Structure 1
Amino acid sequence: MGVQISKAKPIQIIKTQAEPKRKQNKGDWKKAKFVASYLGVSLATVSRWTNQKDDPLPSRRLRGVLQYDFEEVKEWETRNSN
């Protein structure tokens, strides 16, 4: 009564192109000063809206600078207009 060892099939390694870790930063990116001017508010208000808990003004850090995708800003403005 011995232990049977079966031969394993060789593993085929398939190389695929790696997914990018970050999504592409395509878009019309604007700085806070532009967004403030567009929305007709102060930089302090843009900062407050960016940091609010509920439905914040969408922003991202690109190369260490806080920036806003202009299309997302316009969508946010539509959602938050009175």
Structure 2
Amino acid sequence: MGIIAWIVFGLIAGIVAKLLMPGRDPGGFIITILLGIAGALVGGFIARAIGIGAGVTGFNFGSFIIAVLGAILLLVIYRMVKGRKAR
């Protein structure tokens, strides 16, 4: 996929991840995009490592689910790290 496609895919995955995990986050639009893109990469890496498909391979439903799960994982980690710094 091209860089614009990854940004759009990451934005959508990041938005869905935030919708599935509501709450106050210290990040805005840019953090949402970055979490989504990184989530797609992390989710794809984990999926390949444990043998679930080929990871994120393009705009398809399986890749989208993997990207969203990866973004949720990163959102949880992000909240934990930001929560510790605030204390």
TM-score normalized with structure 1 length: 0.33
TM-score normalized with structure 2 length: 0.32
Larger proportion of strand: 1
Q: Which one has the largest radius of gyration? A: 1
